[in-house]
Each structure stands twice: as C-alpha cells, then as structure tokens.
A and B are shown apart, each in its own frame.
Chain A
Amino acid sequence: MSPIVVVENLTKDYAGPSKSVRRAVDDVSFHVNEREIFGIVGESGSGKTTVARVLLRLTRPTGGHVSVAGIDPWSASREDRRRYHEVIQVVFQDPYSSMDPRMRIGAVVTEGLRSRRTHDRPVPTVAELLDLVGLPASYERMYPHELSGGQRQRAAIARALAMGPQVLVADEPVSALDVSMRGQVLNLLTSLQVELGLTVLFISHDLGIVQQMCNRVAVMHNGRIVETGDPVKTFENPSDPYTQRLVASVPRIPVS
C-alpha cells in the first residue's frame, strides 16, 4: 500500500476580528493509502472541512504541504494543475446547494467533462454516468429541485466520477439526507469505491457511519488531529480525552 494523499504540517489561519488570527488547521499531518476509505471525524470548527478544501485547491494553506497522486496543487505546474481535476473530486454535504438550480441534471453531471485533459479513457455519456449511480437515464432532462435529496446526492457522485478521479472527497455526504435514505447513498459510495478502486476521504461527524465504513480514522479537535487509528478500536477504546468525551456524547439506540 502506498500513500496517495499526503498532508504534511498543514496550517491554515483565518483573519479574525481586529487583526487577530484564528488557526483553523494547526500542524496537521496524515496520509491516505491507495484504495483506502479514510475518515476524518470532528465537530464543527474542528478544521476537518478546511483540510478537504486545501486538498481540493479551494482554500490556500498558510503553511505545510499537501499532495495527491504526487501533485502538490499549490505549487504544481499549469499542466499538472489542469490534470489535478482528474485526480481528486468532491461530493458536498448539501445536495440542495451543490447544484445550480437552473441547470438540468444532464448538464450538471457533464459539467466537468470539458476540462478533462487526458483522452486515453473514453468520455462517459450522461446515460452511463446516471446508470453508474443508479439513476434512470430519463433524469437527464430533470432539474435538481425535481429530485429527492438522495437522488441529488447520487447525481453529485456521478458529476464527480465523470472526471475519472482516483481520490474522492466526501464532505458529510449524507448528513443533509433523511435517516432512512442515508444507507442507499453510503452503500453506493462503498460499492463504487470497490468497483472503481477509489480512495475515499470521508469527512463526517457521525462516528457510527465512520466506524462501519472506514478503514482508518483521524479525530480532529480545534484544528489538530488528536487521534488516528482503526475506527472500531479508536471508538471502543479511545486514548485521547477529547475522543473519549466525543464517544460518550453520541446518542445511541438501545440494542434489542
């Protein structure tokens, strides 16, 4: 197993009120191996989403380095930067705001195809993409608001996979969905990960989901990683006091 995502001493400061500085990410280092589902758990403000945004080249880091499949997006050459969109893709949390309400699903899922650089792989059609995520081809003509949250999230996955990425960042992909529909999307993600050999960076505040689907987990708190390890062992026997508090706070359904 070789690491495909490498994060080294990553720091991100935001300007706070009156010249103060808020450190959102504080000296974070971790790596994700190829074909691994790596979970990052933490509460709001823990810095987990900022780490993802730096990897996605959406937020410029203050210090440290990141690289995905050997490309550091923040110091890459122009050509590497263009290729980067075929290396890493994202599924956002809110399927209601992650699609332009004025675009049809067909246009949504193919939006990135025009910026594809490598032409050795065939360009997928809308029907193929929708089929990949279990949506009927007829959805091509629909608008996002005509779909349920779960269907929209499937379309968001199709949009990301259209680029043929090696790494998929899933930022709280089911927390905006109804509980009874979360499993559909999570199972789809898991099976696509196996089928396509994806590496998944799974960002969540839901310890249960992370425990069930991730190979490894990093727990973040106040911008730092406080614990890394096997999710089951980490949550059953947390060594860090914050992880202990977090695990104890999760409301659990009594086992029948």
Chain B
Amino acid sequence: MVTSLVIAPVDVPESRRHKKRIGGITIPTWIGVGLLALCALLGLVVLLAPPFRNLWTAQDLRATFLPPLSSGHPFGTDNLGRDLMWRTLAGLGVSVAVGLGVAFLAVTLGLMVGIVGGYFGRAADVTSNIVIDVTWAFPAILLAVVFAGWLGPGLLTVVLALALTEWAGFSRIIRGEVLSLRERDYVSAARVLGRNKVAISLRHFVPNLLPVTLVLAVYFVAGAIVAEAGLSFLGIGAQPPTPSLGSTLAQGRDYLTRTWWPVILAGGVLTLTVLLLNSVSDQLREHFDPRIGRRR
C-alpha cells in the first residue's frame, strides 16, 4: 500500500481562513502601514514645503466661517478666513512630526536606560530605578509648563516634555526584558567568548528587543499626538500661525456657537489617525508575538 503524503481531510470542519501574507505581514497590516505613511507624508509636505505655506497661512477676512464644500474651500474656512483643509493637513504634519520626535527620543532614552539598568550592575539598576520613579511621578503637563517658561511655548517644548516623561514606562519594560534576556545561554556563551557588556547589549539585546520596541514606538506616536493636541489646546504647544490639530480645536471652541465644523474636522482627523496607529500597533504585536502570530 502506498500512502500519499497529502491526505484529504475527512469530515473536518473548515478551519478559520488563514490570512494571506506578504513578507510575513498580513495584508490589513500593510494597508494600515501604507495609509499611515501616506498621511504622514502628506502632512509633513504640506507643513514643511514652502509652496504650500501660503495655502494654510493666507487670510481672507471677507470669507470667514465659510461652511464645508464652499467653492475653493472643501473643508470651509475659519474665523480668519483661512482654508481649513490645508490647515488640517498641516496640523496633521505637526502631529506626525511631534509623534515621531517624541517616539524617537523616548525609545532611544528608554532603551539605553533600560539596558543599563537591567545589565550594568546593581548600582546602575538602583540609580536608573530612582530616576524612573521620579520621572513617573512627574506629570508631562507640569514639565511642559516648566519648559514653556524656560524655552517659551512651542513644539520643541512639547516634544521635550513628552519624551522626557514617556521614556520611563518604556524603560521599565525594557529592563524587565533585559533581565530575562541576560539569563539566556547565548548571553552566557558571549561572556565566555570574552564579549564585554556594551558588545553584548548591541549584538544580542538590541536586536532581540526590536519587536517590542517597534510595537511600543507606534503606541508612543499615538500617545504623543493626543498629548500634543492637548498641550496645544492649552496654548503651550504650536504657536500661531502654525496650525496644530489641538490649536485648531481650541480656536474652534471659541466660535463653537457660530460654527461647528473646525472642531469636528480637527477632532475627527485626530481620532482617525490615533485609531489607525493603535490598530497598526496591535497588528504588529500580533505579528511579533509567537503565541499569536506565526514564528518567523
């Protein structure tokens, strides 16, 4: 008897469909990442490219509070007659820039402190723990007010205030991961091979921490975007004429009795962006988690 290796399933219920993958990543994740990249690019170009600057700064006091779908202003205009579509896009650019800046700084700092605390001896661990505890006790908004008094309000203030508070939680997670990684046999083997702590950190810890770092970095971007909007709403963040989704919300509030669309537009874009970021982060986590996703 010759048994073929491929056996037709007998009376087996169809299992749940397997998601198609490209390069090991599911299509919804690719779509999410693509949409995010598109938004980020669009926002940054509108914000930074000089030809676009005039579009979101130009005032026209004869055309204030135009409703959406007015000719030449698909999203309408604000109290100074500035085009809301361009201002929203530029605001998105501000959000993206702040989000990326905060995530980059917080992740770099968090990785360094986490690895040092987890692997460079007891003294380093105790010190870094104290720093983390103190940082954690410090609300971002307080730090932002302090920086605003020192550096003046602005996006740099926002980025610094958020990054210098956000890294602490991330650092704790990294420290925990390092405590587990350092006990792996391959780390012991590297020590016996004469590699020093810096080499082991760069060679073994950082690459193995990359998945968790990436997932959390995306969450940081989302968190920073919301926090920036909050701080700008309070007037600590983006200064006129730089449009931020938060400052658009704040201005919109002043005229809420007359017009609703600036608030709805800015708020809607903010919400959608953060939702998209969080869902991509979830999917990345699923991708990297061996218990859920497929092992790479």
- For residue B51, CB closer than 8 A to chain A, the reply is no
Please determine whether A58 and B193 come into contact, CB atoms closer than 8 angstroms: no
Most chain B CB within a 10 A radius of its CB, from A97, A100, A103: A100
Q: Looking at chain B, what size class is its interface with the partner chain?
A: 10 to 19
Q: Are A57 and B186 in contact (CB under 8 A)?
A: no
Q: For the complex formed, measure the closest distance between the CB of B188 and the CB atoms of chain A, giving whole angstroms.
A: 6
Cβ–Cβ contact B190 & A90, under 8 A: no
Identify the interface centre among B189, B199, B204: most chain A CB within 10 Å of its CB. B189
Binding site secondary structure of chain B: helix
**Does A111 lie at the interface of the complex (its beta carbon under 8 Å from any beta carbon of B)?**
yes
Instruction: Give A101's nearest chain B residue, CB to CB.
Output: B208
Query: Would you call B193 and A85 a contact (CB within 8 A)?
Result: yes
Q: CB-CB < 8 A to A154: which residues of B?
A: none
* Contact status B195-A112, CB under 8 Å: yes
Is B207 an interface position by the 8 A CB rule?
yes
Give the distance in Å from the alpha carbon of A55 to the alpha carbon of B225 in the complex: 53
Name the one of B188, B203, B204 contacting A58, with C-beta atoms under 8 angstroms: B188
* B203 touching A111, Cβ below 8 Å: yes
Residues of B contacting A89 in the complex (Cβ-Cβ under 8 angstroms):
192-193
Q: What is the 8 Å Cβ interface bit string for chain A, positions 9-53, against chain B (1 contact, 0 not)?
A: 000000000000000000000000000000000000000000001
Residue-wise, chain B 179-200 has the 8 Å CB interface mask toward A (1 for contact) of 0000011101111111100010
Interface string of B252-296 (1 = CB under 8 A from A): 000000000000000000000000000000000000000000010
Q: Which residues of B contact A156 (CB under 8 A)?
A: 189
Contact A92 B193, beta carbon cutoff 8 Å: no
- B193 pairs with A115, CB closer than 8 A: yes
The CA of A89 and the CA of B189, in the complex, are separated in Å by 8
- Chain A hits for B208, CB < 8 A: 100-102
CB of A113, distance to nearest CB on chain B (Å): 9
Contact between B194 and A112 (Cβ–Cβ < 8 Å)? yes
Q: Is A128 an interface residue (CB 8 A)?
A: no
Say if the beta carbon of A216 comes within 8 Å of chain B. Answer: no
A97 and B189 alpha carbons, distance in the complex (Å):
10
| Nearest chain A CB to B263 CB, angstrom units | 47
| B191: chain A residues within 8 A (beta carbon) | 57-58
In the bound assembly, the distance between CA atoms of A103 and B205 in angstroms comes to 12
* A114 contacts across to B, CB distance below 8 A: 195, 199
Give chain B residues whose Cβ lies under 8 Å from the Cβ of A84: 194
Cβ distance A156 to chain B, nearest Cβ, rounded Å: 8
A98 & B189 in contact (Cβ 8 Å cutoff): yes
Smallest Cβ-Cβ distance to B206: which chain A residue: A102
Q: Which residue of the partner chain, among A94, A112, A115, A145, contacts B185 with CB atoms under 8 Å? A: A94
Q: Are A100 and B204 in contact (CB under 8 A)?
A: yes
| A203 CA / B195 CA spacing, docked (Å) | 24
Q: Kindly identify which residue among B186, B199, B203, B295 contacts A99, using a CB–CB cutoff of 8 Å.
A: B186
Q: Kindly state whether residue A163 has any CB partner on chain B within 8 Å.
A: yes
How far does the Cβ of B155 sit from chain A's closest Cβ, in whole Å?
36
A159 to chain B, nearest CB (A): 7
C-alpha spacing A103/B192, complex, angstroms? 17
Using known A-B contacts A94-B185, A98-B185, A100-B208, determine if residue A85 contacts B192 with beta carbons closer than 8 Å: yes
Beyond A98-B185, A100-B204, whether A115 also contacts B192 by CB under 8 A is: no
**Interface: A56 (CB within 8 A):** yes
Closest Cβ of chain A: how far from B179's Cβ, in Å?
Answer: 16
Greatest chain A CB density within 10 A among B193, B195, B204, B207 is at B193
Q: Given known contacts A97-B184, A100-B204, A102-B208, is B194 in contact with A90 (CB within 8 Å)?
A: no
B residues engaging A (CB < 8 A)?
184-186, 188-195, 199, 203-204, 207-208, 295
Task: Give the 10 A-B CB pairs with smallest separation, nearest first.
Answer: A112-B193, A115-B194, A85-B194, A98-B185, A92-B185, A97-B185, A102-B207, A100-B186, A90-B192, A56-B192
Given A98-B185, A102-B207, 4 further pairs, Cβ under 8 A: A58-B188, A84-B194, A99-B186, A159-B193
A sample of 19 inter-chain contacts (CB < 8 A) reads: A56-B188, A57-B192, A85-B192, A88-B192, A90-B192, A93-B185, A97-B185, A98-B185, A98-B188, A100-B204, A100-B207, A102-B207, A102-B208, A111-B190, A112-B194, A115-B195, A116-B194, A145-B295, A159-B193
